[in-house]
Amino acid sequence: MIRKRIAVKLGLTIMCLFLIVLAPLGYVISSIFSNFYLDNLEKNIEHLSARYVDLMSRGDMMSTSMIGMMAELNGVDVIIFDHTGKAVMETNRYDPPTIDSLVPEETKQLSRNMFISKEEINEAGERYFFKVSPLNGESFNGALGVIAPVEPAMDAVDQIRSLLILAGVGALFIAIGITYIISRRLSQPLLQMENAARRMAKGDLDVKVDVLTEDETGSLARSINELGDELKRYRDTRSEFFANISHELRTPITYLEGYSQVLADGLIDSDEEKSKYLLIIHQEARRMKGLVEDLFELSKMEEGKISINKEWMDVSEALQHVLGKVGPRVTEKGLVLEQDIIKEIPYVLGDGNRMEQIFLNLLDNAIRYTIKGFIRVNIYIDSSHVIIEIADTGLGIPEEELPYVFERFYRVEKSRSREFGGTGLGLAIVKKLVELQDGHIEIESIVNRGTTFTVKFPIFLEGVES
C-alpha cells in the first residue's frame, strides 16, 4: 500500500534522478583530480630530470654526489646508466623496483636523443613513475633515470575521493529530506482531493477542497469544488423537479378521478353540467399528455435519439405560423403583440416542426410570465446569421439565476410555480433543439422589466443562392 502512494513514487523518482546525476558527476570529478596529480607528478619528474642531466653534464664527482642529495630532498631515486645501458649507480632510498639495465630498444631510443617515460612496479606491488633522459656530449655517454613513487599522489587522490563520497552521502541525505518535503507538499492536496471525491460519492456535497496554489493543482481543486456545487444544485433541482412533477400529475389525476366518478355514478343534473365535466376531463388529459411528451422529448435528447430532418426553410414563415396559434392567448390576456420582421429573410438549414416548437415554447413562456405590457417579436439578419428576438415586459429573471435557466428541471419562479405552471423542461428543450440545428440562444433579463431571448441561426451561402 505504501509503495502505491504518489509521495513514495515521486520521492523514489527524484532520488533515482539524483543518483543518476550524482554517480557520473562523482566519477568525472575523481578522474579529473587523479589525472591532475599524475600529470603534476610527471611534470615534476621531468623538471628534476632536466636539472640532474644539467649537473651531470659538468662531468665531476661532485655533481654525482649533489644529485644524490637533491634526489633525497625531492623524494625520488636516481639511476645512472652507462652508454651500454647498464646501471652504474642508484640511490635506492625509496625501495624502487630493481632496474639493472635498459633493454637494447631503449638504449637505441636514448642514443637518438629521445626520452623514455613508463611505469614500473616494485616487489611489493607499488607503482613507480620512471623517467630516463640521455646524457649526451659529443656522443651518447649514457643516461640518467629518475624514479618516483606514485602512491603519495594516489593517496592524495584517495583522500579527495573520500571527501567526495562523504559530500555525496551528505548531499544524498539532504536530497532525501528535500524530496520528502516536496513529495508531501505535492501529494497532500491530491490526497485531500481524493478524500473530498470519496465524500462526494457518499452524498456529502458540502465538502470543499482548499485552493492553496494557482498552478494545475489549484485548478484541479477549484474544478472539484465547482463539481460539488454543480452536483448539489443538480440534486436540489432534481428533487424540486420530482416534487413539481408529482404535483402536476396529482392535480389532473385528481380531476380525472373525481369527475369521472361523478359521471359514472350519474350524479349530474343536466347535459350542460355533463359537458362541463367532460371538458374538464379533456383539458386535464391534454395537460397530462403535454407533460409526458415533454419528459419523453427530453429523455430522447439526452440519449441522442431525437430526429432532426434538416432542410432549407423560411424562419419567418415558421414564426408567423406560431404567432397565429398564440395570438388569441395574447389578446385574451390583454397584451399587445408587436412584430418587426424584415422581408427577404435568407433560408436556413433546419427542421420546420422543431423550429415551430422552439418559437412556441419561447412565446408560451413570454405569455405566461407577462402580466401586462407587450410581447415583441423581431427578425433581422447580420453578416452571417438570421436573428430572432422574442422580448416581453414580464416578471424578469434575477441576474444570478440567468446561467441556470436552460438547465433541465430548473425553475426560476419556485414560490409561484403553482400559479404560473410549467415543469422546468421547456427552456432545456429549446436550447437543445437550437443547438441541434447549429444555432445559438442567449438571454437578457431585468427583474420586473422583462426578458429577451435571442436565437441565432447561421446563414449558409449555398442556401442563399438556392
Confidence band for 458, pLDDT divided at 50, 70 and 90: very high
Residue 420: alpha-carbon gap to chain centroid: 47
Q: How many residues does the chain have?
A: 466
- Residue 278, phi-psi category: left (phi > 0), alpha (psi -120 to 50), beta (remainder): alpha
Round the average pLDDT of the chain to a whole number and report it.
80
Find all residues with CB under 8 Å of 370, minimum gap 6, and list them. 333, 335, 392, 393, 394, 395, 450
Tens digit of each residue's pLDDT (9 = 90 or more) over 199-253: 888 888 888 888 877 777 788 888 888 888 888 877 877 777 677 677 667 777 8
Q: Report how far apart, in Å, the C-alpha atoms of 349 and of each of 342, 358, 361 are.
A: 19, 15, 20
C-alpha cell at 182: 516536496
Residue with cell 408587436: 338
Q: Which domains does the chain have, with CATH numbers?
A: 2-155 (3.30.450.20), 216-303 (1.10.287.130), 311-465 (3.30.565.10)
Quote the pTM value. 0.48
CA 193, CA 341: separation in Å to the nearest integer?
A: 54
Confidence band for 441, pLDDT divided at 50, 70 and 90: very high
Q: φ, ψ for residue 335 (rounded to 5)?
A: -100, 165
What does the DSSP 8-state code read for residue 30?
H
CA 148, CA 370: separation in Å to the nearest integer?
A: 110
Nearest CA to 437 out of 292, 318, 323 is that of 318
C-alpha cell at 276: 362541463
Q: What is the mean pLDDT of residues 326-334?
A: 89
Q: What is the mean pLDDT of residues 103-121?
A: 82
Strands 336-341 and 374-381: parallel
Confidence band for 194, pLDDT divided at 50, 70 and 90: confident
Confidence band for 387, pLDDT divided at 50, 70 and 90: very high
Q: What is the mean pLDDT of residues 403-416?
A: 68
CB atoms within 10 A of CB 221: 21
CA 447, CA 396: separation in Å to the nearest integer?
A: 4
CB atoms within 10 A of CB 105: 10
Tens digit of each residue's pLDDT (9 = 90 or more) over 286-310: 777 877 877 777 777 767 677 788 8
Confidence band for 138, pLDDT divided at 50, 70 and 90: low
Q: What is the mean pLDDT of residues 65-90?
A: 79
- Asked if 451 and 394 touch (Cβ cutoff 8 Å), the reply is yes
Tens digit of each residue's pLDDT (9 = 90 or more) over 341-368: 887 888 999 999 889 989 999 998 899 8
What is residue 1's predicted lDDT score, i.e. its pLDDT? 45
